[in-house]
């Protein structure tokens, strides 16, 4: 009997994992299987582990308009002529911001409208082998519809997420000054108290909170421009010196920052080299490391201390998701 079969077989007698242990893995796998459109507050759940850790932890639990952000062709930017010059983060992000600021701002979506998105998962995050760990019987639905004014979020019934409308309006109201904008974004996605988990250093918090806003849909183009300008000021932010491929095989600019600490991971936000909208994100191994599943207290397997392990090399893509379509539609089920 292999280790994963043993793990599933013993689950009925295993103690229940607490929320803190399950949150990172469950959140990442749930996002992946649902298409990655969950718009969440940055509580403990937003401190995402690598996809290997996500799969292993979940296995232990029984495997269970000009609105920016779509991947549809946007007005051509400087790269449209076929010549792309990647420079420093400030050069790339400010160039993107300059382009976005020239785009007209359309009307805000109306209450009652729906946000349709379609996503593609990278090969490391699909099928029955999820980052090297078997995940059992799971399904992945690439299409998603969420109400723009999502009552469950706005009425406080789901305190783990904001509605698309709340994020749209918060982004539209962000100040021009990068330092003040970063402060506002950190307040919007807090960390360090209660359910928000332990505190992080300011730069890491800023980059991850910015990403949570940037990956939302829809966003006014001028708001996205301000977010990019602020991202360029975050210490440690880098831009890959060549175009990368997203989970859908499209060329993209990768804006990244090493997570540091025990994560061994680099978070990358991928943007369109022509229209500069958000295309997707990736988690990439920043160094060689081995992830070993830590079993819940009271659970025994093998030597009674450790679960299965997964080795990663620097540059391995741990998780990759691309947003290939996004639209504001009149009803759930519509795609345009």
Binned at pLDDT 50, 70 and 90, residue 199 comes out as confident
Does residue 72 have a pLDDT over 90?
A: no
In the Cβ-directed half-sphere of 314, how many Cα atoms lie within 13 Å? 4
- The crossing angle, in degrees rounded to 10, of helices 221-231 and 202-214 is 160
Among 4-18, 74-88, 92-106, 274-288, the minimum mean pLDDT is found in 4-18
Q: Classify residue 70: in a domain, yes or no.
A: no
- Determine the average pLDDT of the residues in 140-168: 85
Residues in the chain: 336
- Determine the average pLDDT of the residues in 156-162: 70
Residue range 36-70, pLDDT digits in tens? 344 444 543 443 333 333 333 333 322 223 456 54
CA distance 50 to 53: 5
Locate 26 and state its tokens: 């469950």
| Top-confidence residue, 314 or 126 | 314
- Determine the average pLDDT of the residues in 185-197: 81
Q: Quick check: 150 and 165 in contact, CB under 8 A?
A: yes
Q: Classify residue 191: in a domain, yes or no.
A: yes
Q: What is the pLDDT of residue 192?
A: 74
| 11-15, 18-22, 254-258, 296-300, range with greatest mean pLDDT | 254-258
Considering just the CA atoms, what is the radius of gyration of the chain in Å?
A: 20
Residue range 202-234, pLDDT digits in tens? 999 999 999 999 999 999 999 999 999 999 999
pTM equals 0.75
Q: What is the pLDDT of residue 196?
A: 65
Q: Classify residue 315: in a domain, yes or no.
A: yes
- Determine the average pLDDT of the residues in 293-315: 68
Q: Classify residue 319: in a domain, yes or no.
A: yes
Nearest to 182 by CA among 211, 153, 215: 211
CA distance 234 to 250: 27
Nearest to 52 by CA among 124, 3, 2, 121: 124
Q: Quick check: 41 and 160 in contact, CB under 8 A?
A: yes
Q: What is the pLDDT of residue 18?
A: 33
Does residue 133 have a pLDDT over 50?
A: no
Q: Quick check: 132 and 55 in contact, CB under 8 A?
A: yes
- Determine the average pLDDT of the residues in 290-311: 66
Q: Classify residue 182: in a domain, yes or no.
A: yes
Number of compact structural domains in the chain: 1
DSSP 38-83: --B--SGGGS---HHHHHHHHHHTT-----BTBSSPPSP-GGGGS-
CA distance 19 to 142: 27
Q: What angle do CA 331, 334, 336 make, to 5 degrees?
A: 110
Q: What percent of the chain has pLDDT over 90?
A: 51
Binned at pLDDT 50, 70 and 90, residue 157 comes out as low
Specify which residues 150 forms β-bridges with: none
| Top-confidence residue, 69 or 200 | 200
Q: Classify residue 334: in a domain, yes or no.
A: no
Q: What is the pLDDT of residue 141?
A: 85
| Domain, as residue range, for 264 | 3-64+75-329
CA distance 246 to 324: 10
Q: What is the pLDDT of residue 66?
A: 45
Q: What is the pLDDT of residue 195?
A: 66
Binned at pLDDT 50, 70 and 90, residue 117 comes out as very high
Q: Classify residue 83: in a domain, yes or no.
A: yes
| Top-confidence residue, 71 or 321 | 321
H or E element, residue 33:
helix 19-34
**Cα–Cα distances in angstroms (integers) from residue 121 to residues 29, 168, 247, 300, 336, in the given order:** 11, 25, 6, 33, 22
In the Cβ-directed half-sphere of 181, how many Cα atoms lie within 13 Å? 23
Does residue 263 have a pLDDT over 60?
A: yes
Q: Classify residue 32: in a domain, yes or no.
A: yes
Locate 78 and state its tokens: 């400087």
Mean residue pLDDT across the chain: 75
H or E element, residue 329:
strand 317-329
């Amino acid at each position: 009997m292999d280790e994963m079969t043993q793990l599933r077989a013993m689950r009925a007698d295993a103690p229940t994992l607490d929320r803190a242990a399950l949150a990172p893995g469950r959140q990442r796998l749930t996002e992946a299987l649902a298409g990655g459109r969950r718009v969440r507050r940055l509580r403990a759940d937003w401190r995402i582990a690598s996809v290997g850790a996500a799969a292993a932890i979940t296995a232990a639990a029984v495997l269970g308009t000009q609105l920016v952000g779509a991947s549809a062709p946007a007005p051509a930017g400087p790269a449209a002529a076929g010549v792309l010059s990647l420079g420093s983060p400030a050069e790339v992000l400010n160039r993107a911001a300059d382009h976005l600021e020239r785009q007209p701002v359309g009307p805000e979506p109306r209450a009652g409208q729906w946000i349709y998105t379609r996503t593609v998962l990278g090969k490391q995050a699909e099928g029955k082998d999820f980052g090297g760990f078997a995940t059992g019987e799971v399904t992945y639905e690439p299409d998603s519809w969420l109400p723009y004014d999502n009552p469950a979020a706005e009425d406080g019934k789901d305190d783990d997420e904001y509605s698309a409308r709340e994020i749209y309006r918060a982004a539209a109201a962000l100040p021009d000054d990068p330092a003040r904008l970063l402060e506002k974004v950190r307040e919007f996605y807090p960390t360090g108290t209660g359910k928000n988990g332990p505190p992080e250093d300011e730069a890491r918090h800023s980059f991850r909170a910015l990403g949570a806003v940037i990956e939302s849909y829809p966003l006014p183009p001028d708001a996205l421009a301000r977010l990019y300008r602020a991202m360029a000021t975050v210490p440690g932010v880098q831009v890959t010196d060549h175009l990368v491929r997203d989970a859908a095989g499209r060329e993209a600019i990768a804006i990244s920052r090493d997570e540091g600490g025990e994560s061994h991971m680099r978070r990358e936000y991928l943007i369109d080299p022509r229209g500069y909208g958000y295309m997707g994100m990736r988690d990439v191994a920043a160094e060689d490391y081995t992830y070993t599943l830590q079993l819940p207290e009271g659970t025994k397997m093998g030597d009674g201390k450790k679960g299965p392990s997964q080795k990663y090399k620097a540059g391995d893509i741990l998780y990759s998701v691309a947003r290939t379509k996004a639209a504001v539609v009149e009803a759930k089920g519509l795609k345009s």
